[in-house]
């Protein structure tokens, strides 16, 4: 009897592990809306997603650095992704969310889905033709019959760049 339970537990853990991590050569991505575009982010960079909440403005920062917010007692920097791309600022609505990437909260319009993309559907980014600075794009991916950009987190959240003060 006891051994049955053990076996059951083991199987259960095994299944769950599989769904969380990479199967074969497919990586998991978070798909979300920002402005008119859908983007993807490697889930391994994403620690959490929450509903948009009040942000305290911090003066003298660049316009896309919106300020700070309190996530369970920790002060987290908030950045408007759309504005970071130079596509205007995000309009706060009921579906607006904060995605915490590398400890920084990105304001996005709507979270779509988390799913995997097999490697053969991941392509090198185009040099031009996409309305986004090439440095922000890590790869292009085919998702639901359309081509979307997989974002380059380290470039978007380049601390020395976003830490600059306004007017300097």
Partner 1 sequence: MNEELEIFLEDCDDQLQMMENALVEMQSAEATEENIGAIFRAVHTIKGSAGMFGFEDIVTFTHTCENLFDVIRQGELKINSEMVSLFLLCKDYIEKLIDSAVNDEELSEEENQLGKELIEALLSFIPSEEIPKKKSILLKDEEEKSLKNRWHISIRFNKDFFTTGMSIHSIFNFLNSMGTVLINAPIIYKIPLLEDLNPIFPYIGFEILYEGTQSQEALEDVFEFIQEDVSLVIFEAKNLEEYDLLLQIRDEELLQEELLRYSFITPKVTQVDTPEPLKIQEKENTIRNKELKSDVSKQSSKKSSASLRVDSQKIDILINYMSEIVIANSKILALVSSDDEEEEEESELQEAAQNMKQLLEYVRDGIMDIRMVQVGDSFNKFRRIVNDTSKKIGKDVEFVISGEETELDKTVIERVSDPLLHMLRNSIDHGIELPKEREKNGKSPRGRVDLRAYPDAGSIVIEIEDDGKGLDKEKILSKAVSNGLVSENANLSDEEIYKLIFAAGLSTADKVSDISGRGVGMDVVKRNIEDLRGSIDIESVLGQGSKITIRLPLTLAIIDGFLVQVGTTKYIIPLENIKECIELTETQELEMGENEFINLRGEMLPLLDIRELLQEDGSLTSRKNIVIVYFGNRSVGLLVDELLDEYQTVIKSLGSVFHNLSGISGGSILGSGEIALIFDIPRLIEMEKLKGSVMDD
Report, in angstroms and rounded to the nearest whole number, the Rg of the chain calculated over CA atoms. 19
User: Nearest approach, Cβ of 37 to partner 1 (angstroms)?
Assistant: 24
User: Nearest approach, Cβ of 137 to partner 1 (angstroms)?
Assistant: 22
Regarding 22 and contact with partner 1 (CB under 8 A), the answer is: no
- Which tokens sit at 131? 């309305």
Tell me, residue by residue from 72 to 111, as one string, x for binding to partner 1 by CB under 8 A and - for no binding.
-xxxxx-------------------------xx-------
Tell me, residue by residue from 47 to 76, as one string, x for binding to partner 1 by CB under 8 A and - for no binding.
-------x-xxxxxx---x--xxx--xxxx
- Which tokens sit at 95? 């579906």
For 64, other C-beta atoms within 10 Å of its C-beta total 18
Alpha helices, H only, the chain: 2-20, 81-84, 153-156, 159-162
Q: How crowded is the C-beta side of 51, counted as CA atoms within 13 Å? A: 4
Contacting residues toward partner 1, per CB under 8 A: 54, 56-61, 65, 68-70, 73-77, 103-104, 159, 162-165
């Amino acid at each position: 009897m006891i051994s049955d339970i053990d076996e059951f537990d083991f199987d259960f853990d095994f299944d769950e592990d599989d769904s969380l991590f990479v199967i074969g050569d497919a990586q998991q991505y978070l798909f979300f809306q920002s402005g008119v575009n859908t983007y993807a982010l490697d889930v391994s960079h994403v620690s959490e997603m929450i509903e948009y909440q009040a942000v305290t403005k911090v003066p003298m920062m660049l316009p896309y650095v919106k300020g700070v917010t309190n996530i369970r007692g920790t002060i987290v920097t908030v950045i408007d992704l759309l504005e970071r791309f130079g596509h205007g600022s995000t309009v706060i609505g009921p579906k607006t969310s904060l995605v915490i990437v590398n400890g920084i909260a990105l304001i996005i319009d709507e979270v779509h889905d988390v799913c995997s993309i097999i490697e053969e559907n991941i392509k090198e980014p185009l040099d031009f033709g996409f309305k986004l600075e090439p440095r922000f794009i890590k790869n292009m991916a085919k998702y639901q019959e359309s081509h979307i950009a997989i974002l380059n987190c380290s470039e978007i959240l380049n601390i020395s760049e976003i830490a600059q003060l306004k007017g300097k």
